[in-house]
Structure 1
Amino acid sequence: MTTDVTDTGLGTIRAGILGGGFMARVHGTASRDAGGELRAVATSSASGGRTAAQALGAERAEADADALLDAADIDVVHICTPNATHAALALRALAAGKHVVCEKPLATNVADAQQLADAAVEQGLIGAVPFVYRYHPMVREARARMRRGDVGELLTLDCSYLQDWMLLPDDDDWRVQSASGGASRAFADIGSHLCDLIEFITGDRIHALSARTRRVFAERGGRAVDTEDIVAVLVETESGALGTLLISQMAPGRKNALTLELHGSRQTVRFEQERPEELWIGARTGSRLLLRDPATADPDSARLQRVPAGHAMGYQDAFNGFMADVYAAIGGAEPEGLPTFADGYRSAVLTEAVLESAAHDGRWVQTAAGDRSDRLEVEA
């Protein structure tokens, strides 16, 4: 079972949400599931805030972000606003003494992400980024098997994250323009999840990469597009494993197909986010499909399994598990695998590396592995 906020000794955690869209609804549901109280919501307009507060079941709407951040009855701020606003809002929230859960990307550049990671540590506050796919129980099972040595030495990776919501020329979204979404769209939006999961499961960081990007349509919705639709990446990990990553928001029929296939010297493990109850274990002889079951799972996987085997768990369950760990950390616990602002910073480093490589015709870019001292080096 996940750690409930009532176990922290802190009492009820009071939450405020900035934003009123889909992710705000997911955050609100997860906050309540963790035992929190949703005190206030604010959006880009006062009227929008009132509508969002009613839809989310918050106690009140604040006139704007500043009013919410200054509120004395809020312990944690959930930032679910457009990407370009994340860094300033998160820094302001930390300065106000609030814990922060900020949607990814944490920031649209490395310098801002590092500032936030450092600020959270310096101020003794929890800063978390929802890399929630870590909270699928079968992801934790895969990680445990890697740690135990069941898979052996990591040799190669074959991974992808495919969607189709931007397939057509009239498909549009605020993320298509860098002014609101940041310089990267497909990689920062979904490739970040893929790379976080790779490094989380394997414990082996991406040491170098070579990337190519593609923008299929120059305009969407009558506006110029300056972000990528598709990214292909070659990677090398610190241990020497080689791999391919394909990220696309234009793959017909693929809705949220995050897939990792990790080939070791003893076994292969394959996880598909759209089939989260399963883990495929490949062997030279006797490959098998492992189904989620708390009775036989590794303890780190079992703690996230809220229902018995045969009762499906999914995305909201994973988000709920993440939020329970965030709120437990606010109460002083140290949950295993909680994604923090340091992980958001790591994602910013990898995003910048992808863009840097693509800008130099796919030249290899090295990314150092320190938690907040990563650097980029473009090879000649």
Structure 2
Amino acid sequence: MGKKQIRVGMIGYKFMGKAHSHAYRDVPFYFDGDGVPVMQAICGRDEGALKAAAQKLGWASCETDWRKLIERDDIDLIDIGAPNNAHAEIAVAAAEAGKHILCEKPLAMNTEEAKRMLEAVNKAGVVHMICHNYRFVPAVQYAKKLIDEGKLGKILHIRANYLQDWIMDPSFPLVWRLKKEVCGSGALGDLSSHSLDLARFLVGEFKEVNGMMETFVKERPVGEMSGGLSADVKGEAMGKVDVDDASIFMARFENGAVGVFEATRFAGGNRNGNRFEINGTKGSIRWDMEQMNTLQLYSADDQAGMQGFRSINCQEEVHPYAGAYWPPAHIIGYEHTFINLVAELMNGIVSGQSPAPNFEDGLINQTVLEAVQKSAETGRWVSVSEVR
């Protein structure tokens, strides 16, 4: 029986477009699933830059209107890498056209949009997934396995931070990631959304939160992203920054665990400091994206005199996903998190099941983000149930 070809139409071609394209190209090389992505069409507004990206990244054709992309009969999966304020409209239209959907995070601008998106995919019966790629790091998956096996005992704490420094210069331009009407929130939605998704994956569901948000640079020169996290100033106009540069919140979980979360783009020297530590009654784990293949484990079962954190290189065949790549300790990188995610998505489309994290997770994540925003505005603890 031959493999099922899954024809992809992708919206966006810069930072995430490059990461997703690489995953579609490489997933058949490493994984033997029954679904094979076909890079059918890429979509963007700048026709010249779009054609150059299509040729470089390996896409067969281009569209400058996402509506035309969705209307095409030769597209099975719509990959949404557009800015946050476009997610809902595109996803609902794609679902109504019977297309499977992969959407970048955060899922939507608010819970109401997220609910509409979830209702649309459920009504259409299409497969859906949200791109929280850090779930698919082998070390993170192994941490999940250890927790599920009870190696850490009852989970008591999580402390997570996601620290970057790419907008610390006050002359860095006002790009779409710094405009509330386009992105919804700043460091909270961009960075904390990853941390809280990992917390839900590893620890459990949030019960209530208490947060604060701060904007350090209130005005910037107008500009636009130019690839990765770089940007160019356009002219001499200045614009108001109306999203958070930093967010900090405490959390209580349904299972009794507690947590502290920090996200900022003003932590000098931190290029991509996505980290967490989880403590249980029998042990603890630590993980740092900048050393993504290493999981630190402490076990209270170790004999006296030998206790302490040990470093595990999660690149052996017993570690999730690692066996698809190289011999032990031949290190994989950031791009492989997307390959692992796409491998799960291809399997999901073939089987008709939406792999986690999907739009249901996206909606729950959105309610936590909204609860943090509400708490920052009111100065009180906010139950997640208040914004559902």
Do Structure 1 and Structure 2 share a fold, with TM-score over 0.5? yes
2:316 maps to: 294
Alignment partner of 1:24: what SS? helix
In the TM superposition, what is the alpha-carbon distance from 1:56 to its structure 2 partner? Answer: 2.0
Aligned residues: 357
Q: Does 1:149 align with 2:150?
A: yes
Do the aligned partners of 1:304 and 1:321 also contact (CA within 8 Å) in 2?
A: no
Q: Does 1:168 align with 2:169?
A: yes
Q: Does 1:215 align with 2:215?
A: yes
What letter matches 2:314 in structure 1?
Answer: R
Q: Does 1:26 align with 2:26?
A: no
In the TM superposition, what is the alpha-carbon distance from 1:157 to its structure 2 partner? Answer: 1.6
In the TM superposition, what is the alpha-carbon distance from 1:319 to its structure 2 partner? Answer: 0.6
Do the aligned partners of 1:128 and 1:338 also contact (CA within 8 Å) in 2?
A: yes
Give deviations 1:202-246, integer Å, cap 9, x for gaps: 2x1111110000000111112100000001111111121122111
In the TM superposition, what is the alpha-carbon distance from 1:120 to its structure 2 partner? Answer: 1.2
Q: Does 1:364 align with 2:376?
A: no
Alignment partner of 1:268: what SS? strand
Do the aligned partners of 2:13 and 2:42 also contact (CA within 8 Å) in 1?
A: yes
- In percent, how many aligned pairs have the same letter? 30
Could you tell which deviates more after superposition, 16-25 or 278-287?
278-287
In the TM superposition, what is the alpha-carbon distance from 1:11 to its structure 2 partner? Answer: 1.4
Alignment partner of 1:150: what SS? coil
| C-alpha distance 319-261 of structure 1, shift in aligned 2 (>3 A) | same
What letter matches 1:256 in structure 2?
Answer: N
1:206 maps to: 206
| C-alpha distance 24-282 of structure 1, shift in aligned 2 (>3 A) | same
Could you tell which deviates more after superposition, 263-272 or 171-180?
171-180
Do the aligned partners of 2:168 and 2:265 also contact (CA within 8 Å) in 1?
A: yes
Do the aligned partners of 1:232 and 1:246 also contact (CA within 8 Å) in 2?
A: yes
Q: Does 1:247 align with 2:263?
A: yes
What letter matches 2:376 in structure 1?
Answer: A
CA distance in structure 2 between the partners assigned to 1:16 and 1:296 by the alignment: 34
Do the aligned partners of 2:127 and 2:348 also contact (CA within 8 Å) in 1?
A: yes
RMSD: 1.8
What letter matches 2:217 in structure 1?
Answer: F
Could you tell which deviates more after superposition, 65-74 or 325-334?
325-334
Do the aligned partners of 2:317 and 2:323 also contact (CA within 8 Å) in 1?
A: no
1:341 maps to: 359
Greater share of strand residues, 1 or 2? 2
| C-alpha distance 305-257 of structure 1, shift in aligned 2 (>3 A) | farther
Do the aligned partners of 1:45 and 1:64 also contact (CA within 8 Å) in 2?
A: no
Q: Does 1:376 align with 2:378?
A: no
In the TM superposition, what is the alpha-carbon distance from 1:122 to its structure 2 partner? Answer: 2.0
CA distance in structure 2 between the partners assigned to 1:52 and 1:89 by the alignment: 21
CA distance in structure 2 between the partners assigned to 1:96 and 1:226 by the alignment: 35
Gaps of 5+ in 2: 28-35, 222-237
What letter matches 1:365 in structure 2?
Answer: V
The runs of at least 4 aligned residues of structure 1 exceeding 4 Å deviation read 302-305
In the TM superposition, what is the alpha-carbon distance from 1:349 to its structure 2 partner? Answer: 0.7
The correspondence for 2:252, drawn from 236, 241, 248, is 236
| C-alpha distance 334-85 of structure 1, shift in aligned 2 (>3 A) | closer
In the TM superposition, what is the alpha-carbon distance from 1:303 to its structure 2 partner? Answer: 6.3
2:159 maps to: 158
What letter matches 1:151 in structure 2?
Answer: L
| C-alpha distance 180-263 of structure 1, shift in aligned 2 (>3 A) | same
Do the aligned partners of 2:106 and 2:189 also contact (CA within 8 Å) in 1?
A: yes
In the TM superposition, what is the alpha-carbon distance from 1:294 to its structure 2 partner? Answer: 2.6
2:233 maps to: none
1:37 maps to: 38
Q: Does 1:87 align with 2:88?
A: yes
Could you tell which deviates more after superposition, 72-81 or 325-334?
325-334
| C-alpha distance 74-143 of structure 1, shift in aligned 2 (>3 A) | same
Do the aligned partners of 1:50 and 1:61 also contact (CA within 8 Å) in 2?
A: yes
What letter matches 2:381 in structure 1?
Answer: W
In the TM superposition, what is the alpha-carbon distance from 1:269 to its structure 2 partner? Answer: 0.7
Q: Does 1:318 align with 2:337?
A: yes
With normalisation by structure 1, the TM-score equals 0.90
CA distance in structure 2 between the partners assigned to 1:122 and 1:321 by the alignment: 28
| C-alpha distance 181-304 of structure 1, shift in aligned 2 (>3 A) | farther
With normalisation by structure 2, the TM-score equals 0.88
Do the aligned partners of 1:322 and 1:338 also contact (CA within 8 Å) in 2?
A: no
Could you tell which deviates more after superposition, 319-328 or 56-65?
56-65
What letter matches 2:7 in structure 1?
Answer: R
In the TM superposition, what is the alpha-carbon distance from 1:302 to its structure 2 partner? Answer: 4.8
CA distance in structure 1 between the partners assigned to 2:112 and 2:349 by the alignment: 26
In the TM superposition, what is the alpha-carbon distance from 1:70 to its structure 2 partner? Answer: 0.7
In the TM superposition, what is the alpha-carbon distance from 1:280 to its structure 2 partner? Answer: 0.7
In the TM superposition, what is the alpha-carbon distance from 1:52 to its structure 2 partner? Answer: 2.7
Q: Does 1:256 align with 2:272?
A: yes
Aligned ranges 1:263-302 → 2 under 5 Å? 263-284=279-300, 285=304, 286-287=307-308, 288-297=310-319, 301-302=320-321
Give deviations 1:148-174, integer Å, cap 9, x for gaps: 111011112221110111111112321
| C-alpha distance 305-163 of structure 1, shift in aligned 2 (>3 A) | farther
What letter matches 2:205 in structure 1?
Answer: R
